[in-house]
Every structure is written in C-alpha cells, then in structure tokens.
Amino acid sequence: MATNRRGFLKAGLGVTAVAATVGKPKPAKAQEAQSAKAGAQVACLVDTTLCIGCRKCEEACNRSNRLPRPAQPFSTRHVLRNNRRPSADAFTVINAYPGEPSREQLDRAETFVKVQCMHCLDPACVSACIVAALTKTAEGPVIYDADRCIGCRYCMVACPFEIPAYEYLDPLTPRVRKCSFCVDEQQQTGANPACAAACPMEAILFGERSELIKLAHERIEQRPARYVDHVYGEHEVGGTSWLYLAGRPLPKIGLTKLPRLAPPRLTESIQHGIFNYGAAPLAFYGGLAGLMWLSNRGGKGGQDDE
Ligand code: SF4
Ligand code: SF4
Ligand code: SF4
C-alpha cells in the first residue's frame, strides 16, 4: 500500500524517521555506478553565450505546467536583474548578470542564465525525503509525488541549488514545487521539455547526457575565446542532468562553486561511520551496564545472605 499523508501520520512520525535513519546503506561505490548509468540518461545543455534573455522559456514553462501568469508580463525585462529564484509559481527563471557573455561577445552588456531544478544524478532532495515523495527516474528526471509528501520540507534544506519551493499560501494541501523536466511529455510523446522547445536561440539543447557533454567539450575546444573550459554540472555534486556552458567565470554568473561529491555520499559515509565505529563504544557501554547489573545483583545477594 502506498504511503500517503494520512497513512504516514497514522503510522507515526517517529517510527518512519527511525526506519529511514537505520535504512540499509547504499554500496560505497554508489556514486561511480550512478555516473556510469548517467550517460544514457536525458539532459539539457544550456549555452549561456547564446541566451538573449527573451524569457520565452519561462513563458512556455508556466503554460506547460499551468502556472499562473506573473503580475507583470513576460515581455518585462527589468525583473531579470532581480536575481530571482524559482518559486511555486515559476519553475524556471532567467537572471541577468552585467558583463559580456564571453571575450568574443564584447558588444553585449549582459549574460543571461536560466535557473531550474538541476535533476542531479544523486539528488540530495531524494536522499533527504523520508517518505520517498521525491524519486530519481532511470531516464533522468527527479519527480515529485504530492500524495506521499508530508510537508516536512527537508528536501528544501538539502538541495545544494536551493530549488524546491513550497506553496505556503495553500492552507490545506500545500505542495513542494519544482521543475519536473516535463517528464510526462517526455514519456508520452518523447517531446523536448517546453522550455527547450520554445527557445528561439537554441540555447537549450535536449538529448542524451553523454552526447551533450561531448558536444559541450567540442564547443569549448573549437572556440576557446568564447567559452571557459568547464562544463558546469558534469561533475558538480556528483553530476547533474542540466549542464551549462559559459563564457565568464562561473561564480560571476550565479553558477556556484560546489564540490564533486554528491551530498548523499557525504551524509551516508557519516551514517556508516556511526554504525561501523559506533559499534565499539556501544559494546563497551553494553558490557559496562552488564557488569553493573551483575555487581548490583551480587550486592543484593550478599545483603540477602547477611
Ligand atoms: S537541484 Fe535540488 S531539487 Fe533538483 S534534483 Fe538536485 S537536489 Fe533535488
Ligand atoms: S523542463 Fe519543463 S518544467 Fe522544467 S523548466 Fe523546462 S519547461 Fe519548466
Ligand atoms: S528562451 Fe532561450 S534565449 Fe530566451 S531566455 Fe530562455 S534560454 Fe534564453
């Protein structure tokens, strides 16, 4: 039987949380295995040097996901400078960073960068979710099941890209909201994600992850004055399904420097440490307790004898 909000509450928070903590750890080589499988997964490559900040991708995403229209129309451009984050009403946003997109594009005043869920290969949000409301599909998208969600928002804390949003204004059935990679359209018709299909500059390419990584490195090699030698998302936090090419240092355009290790590998290694190395102190204190019990028993026996 599937776990839903009501079922979960009946079962009791404590039991589920403990079960999640002591769950069977994944093999130590999980990250390598994940990366090997990732080649066949779908991905998107965003070439920030091609993006003109038209917001057609934002508009298509809102339409496709039946999200409300923003207070100001999508043709408004000043919002691009507001360093926006995805929200419950906008699963993707474009931000503008002053400065030319690359050494080749000195006539352009801004670099535009699309933001959405990165669909990580080893997602921290999935690892943090104690009721499996978030799952990583074999094809690549990280998807959400509102019926399982209990609203704990651990996923929001865990995400290294600060992506999941929450419907705080819905008092009855608030959901976590984020880009689904247009998974339904992908599965039903093999269609490109709405944002990629709408981009007039082909700044978002959709395809097999390994092919897109190859293409990205070819672009870097062919035009070194246009691109920095880094495919963002190839290795960050264990790899992501959204990849970026850029012409400027990545942290200057909001692509934060992150470690290669996926957060779940770190938390699980701590967990394993507690279980592996915690066994010795547990045995010690267990033995001590046993000795105390025996000595008390011995003492009592002595008193009885007296
Ligand atoms: S970007 Fe955040 S929400 Fe998206 S898959 Fe990665 S950890 Fe999960
Ligand atoms: S993949 Fe779909 S849900 Fe995600 S940003 Fe693009 S249009 Fe929006
Ligand atoms: S539709 Fe394409 S060019 Fe326009 S803002 Fe989005 S990514 Fe950039």
Cβ atoms within 10 Å of 141's Cβ, excluding its own = 23
Nearest to 21 by CA among 279, 286, 285, 268: 268
Asked if 56 and 167 sit in the same domain, the reply is yes
118 CA → ligand 1 middle, Å: 6
Q: Is 255 in the pocket of ligand 3 (CB under 6 A)?
A: no
Mention every residue, 6+ apart, whose C-beta is less than 8 A from residue 165.
85, 86, 87, 88, 156, 176, 177, 178
Any residues with Cβ below 6 Å from ligand 1, and which?
117-120, 123-125, 142, 159, 161, 163-164, 178
- Residue 201 and residue 52 share a domain: yes
> 178 with 156: CB under 8 angstroms?
no
Q: Is the pLDDT of residue 20 over 80?
A: no
Between 292 and 117, name the one with better pLDDT: 117
- CATH code of the domain in which 235 resides: 3.30.70.20
Identify any residues that bridge with 43 across adjacent strands, giving them in sequence order.
207
Q: pLDDT at position 220, please?
A: 98
In this structure, what is the dihedral angle of CA atoms 212, 214, 218, 220, given to the nearest 10 degrees?
A: 70
For residue 159, the CA-to-ligand 2 centroid distance in Å is: 18
- Say yes or no: 154 and 103 in one domain: yes
Question: To test the ligand 1 pocket, which listed residue (162, 163, 243) has its Cβ within 8 A of the most ligand atoms?
Answer: 163
Place of tokens 């960068």: 113
Q: What is the pLDDT of residues 234-267, one digit of tens each?
A: 999 999 999 999 999 999 999 999 999 999 987 7
Q: Name the residue with higher pLDDT: 304 or 179.
A: 179
Looking at residue 265, its pLDDT comes to 85
Closest ligand 3 atom, residue 55 Cα: 5
Whole-number Å distance between alpha carbons of 126 and 50: 32
pLDDT 10s digits, 46-72 = 999 999 999 999 999 999 999 999 999
For 143, the enclosing helix (H) or strand (E) is: strand 142-144
Backbone angles phi, psi at 162, to 5 degrees: 50, 55
Residues 6+ apart with CB under 8 A from 205: 44, 45, 47, 196, 212, 215
Do 138 and 281 fall within a single domain? no
Same domain, 274 and 191: no
Give the pLDDT confidence score for residue 267 in this predicted structure: 73
- Residue 303 and residue 229: Cα distance in Å, rounded? 81
The partner residues of 111 in beta bridges, in order of sequence, read 97
User: Does residue 88 sit in the same domain as residue 164?
Assistant: yes
Same domain as 203, residue 294: no
> Is residue 10 domain-shared with residue 81, that is, in the same domain?
yes
Q: Are residues 237 and 140 in the same domain?
A: yes
What would the pLDDT profile of 264-279 be if each residue is shown by its tens digit? 987 766 655 554 555 5
Pocket of ligand 3 contains residue 94 by CB under 6 Å:
yes
Please tell me the distance between residue 91's alpha carbon and the centre of ligand 2 in angstroms.
7
Q: Does residue 249 share a domain with residue 146?
A: yes
- Dump pLDDT digits (tens) for 134-154: 999 999 999 999 999 999 999
Domain count, the chain: 2
User: If DSSP codes are grouped into helix, strand and coil, which group holds residue 126?
Assistant: helix
User: Which of ligand 1's atoms lies nearest the C-alpha of 240?
Assistant: 6
User: Could you tell me the maximum CA-CA distance found in the chain, to the nearest angstrom?
Assistant: 100
Query: Counting ligands in written order, which one lies closest to the CA of residue 193?
Result: 2
The percent of residues above 70 in pLDDT, for the chain, comes to 75
Range of the domain at 171: 5-261
What integer pLDDT is reported at residue 185 of this predicted model? 85
* Continuous segment of H or E residues that includes residue 96: strand 93-98
**pLDDT confidence tier of residue 188, bands split at 50, 70 and 90:** confident
Cβ–ligand 2 contact at 180 (below 6 Å): yes
| Judgement on whether residues 196 and 298 belong to the same structural domain of the protein | no
Instruction: Report the relative pairing of strands 134-136 and 142-144 from DSSP bridges.
Output: antiparallel
Which ligand is closest to the CA of 179, given by its number? 2
CA-angle at 272, arms to 155 and 126, nearest 5°: 20
pTM: predicted TM-score of the whole model, two decimal places:
0.80
What are the residues whose beta carbons fall under 8 Å from the beta carbon of 13, sequence distance 6 or more?
A: none
Distance CA 114, CA 105 (A): 19
Separation of 142 CA from ligand 1 center, angstroms?
7
Q: What does the alpha-carbon distance between residue 123 and residue 263 come to, in Å, rounded to a whole number?
A: 8
Q: Are residues 64 and 161 in the same domain?
A: yes
Identify the three-state secondary structure at position 164: coil
Rounded average pLDDT over 112-118:
98
pLDDT of residue 29: 55
Instruction: Assess whether pLDDT exceeds 70 at residue 298.
Output: no
